[in-house]
Structure formats: C-alpha cells, structure tokens
Chains A and B, each alone.
Chain A
Amino acid sequence: AQSVSQHNHHVILSEAASLELGCNYSYGGTVNLFWYVQYPGQHLQLLLKYFSGDPLVKGIKGFEAEFIKSKFSFNLRKPSVQWSDTAEYFCAVMREGSNDYKLSFGAGTTVTVRA
C-alpha cells in the first residue's frame, strides 16, 4: 500500500528563520504531489503541486518544493517564515494512471512560528 511519511511532527522556529519540511512516499509509479496547508480553524488550502516538468515547484506565499524522484521525496521549503505561517502542513500523493484520484496524506507537520 502506498504511504506518505512526513518526518517532523512539530517544528518550532522564529520569524525570518528558514523552513524545510520533509516528505517521502513509497509508491514506485508515477505520482502527482501536493502540499496543503491548514491554518488554525480553516480548511485545507493548496500551497503547491507537482505533476511533471521542472522538479522545483513554486507555490503561493513564498513556498517552494523540490521533487527528487530517486529519493521519492517532495520536501517543502520557505527561506524566511513569518508568524502567519503558523499552521499544519500536509504532504499528499496521488497515483497517476489509477482510475481513482484520491489523495493519500501524510500525518501532517505542525509549524509554530514565534514572533
């Protein structure tokens, strides 16, 4: 079965620090990759997605992610975080070529940014 692993459960950092959240998946075929963010009390919002092409993907709010196929990884980065980036971040994987398009989510990483 396909699984998605997020390495950090909770990350605490100060404003202006750099952020990197790890994500690995186990499926060997072609995948579509996503990072979603859930701000406190809000619904899931898409930060960025990768389907094909340039493995370095830029998303909203200054986030980017790099797909490294050989490592089955899709790590999320932001060079300088703000207090408003406090949220829970989910990596998600969708199998390409299957008849269903469900998202398999990682367990999530809670990011707390201190002012």
Chain B
Amino acid sequence: DSGVTQTPKHLITATGQRVTLRCSPRSGDLSVYWYQQSLDQGLQFLIQYYNGEERAKGNILERFSAQQFPDLHSELNLSSLELGDSALYFCASSPSGRGYNEQFFGPGTRLTVL
C-alpha cells in the first residue's frame, strides 16, 4: 500500500458523458501527478499540481481538466468522453515536487467508455 488512494476503482460510462476521478495523496505530500495508461499509448503524464497550483502539463486533452484542493486531494475531470479515453488513470504523489523525490502511485481508476 503506497498511501495514495484513488476512487472509484472502476468506472463504466457512455460516450459523451463526464466523469470525475479522485485522488488523495500520501499524508504530507504536496505534489500530485496524473498519468494515463492505455494499451496503445503506454504510460503518459497528464498534469502535475503542487500545493494547489498547476505545475506542469503533459499530453492532456482540452476535454480533461484537473484541480488540487486546499486539503491537497486532487480531482481529474474527463468530459465529452470518447471510446479512446478508456484507460487506467493513475495518480501519484511526492513530498515536495523536487526531482529526487520518489513518486508514490495509487492503485488507479479503470475507466471504460462504452
């Protein structure tokens, strides 16, 4: 158990819908990262938040957005869902967002878009 929690574990929805994935970082960790794992794209970085502010953006679609709240939990919002958005979405956290900090990964949310 990494200490990072993600809910829900599984999500099945239809195209065109909107979903919210939730992540609670390890206690004391200020940085939250979101990654998408799919068969064709592999593991890809989506976005990073540090202490409530966006720090970096990766291959995140405009239909996707995220935020980090004052209690440091984070939500990833996916809208106008397409079949290709089906993937495993991981959240990771690290203490301060510095390069030498290990990122601890949560168990992931498996999203299936039908």
Contact = CB atoms under 8 A, between A and B. Distances in A.
Contact of B99 (A36, A101, A108): A101
A25 interface: no
A94 B2 contact: no
A102 B42 contact: no
Interface string A73-110: 00000000000000000100011111111111111100
B55 interface: yes
Contacts of A96: 99
Contact of B106 (A43, A90, A98, A105): A43
Interface stretch (B14-22, B72-80, B90-98): B90-98
B56 interface: yes
Contacts of B103: 46, 101, 103
A32 interface: yes
Given A42-B107, A44-B90, A105 B43 contact: yes
A52 B57 CA distance: 26
A44 B2 CA distance: 9
What's the interface size class on B, roughly?
20 to 34
Contacts of A100: 48, 55-56
B100 A43 contact: no
Contact of A49 (B44, B55, B102, B104): B102
B45 A90 contact: no
A14 interface: no
Contacts of A99: 55-56
Nearest to A107: B42
Nearest to A6: B42
Interface of A: 32, 34, 36, 42-46, 49, 51, 90, 94-108
Shortest Cβ-Cβ A-B pairs, 4 listed: A100-B56, A105-B43, A44-B105, A102-B45
Given A32-B99, A45-B2, A103-B103, 13 more contacts: A43-B2, A43-B90, A43-B107, A44-B105, A45-B105, A95-B99, A100-B56, A101-B99, A101-B103, A105-B35, A105-B43, A105-B44, A106-B42
Interface of B: 2, 4, 31, 33, 35, 42-45, 48, 55-56, 58, 90, 92, 94, 97-108
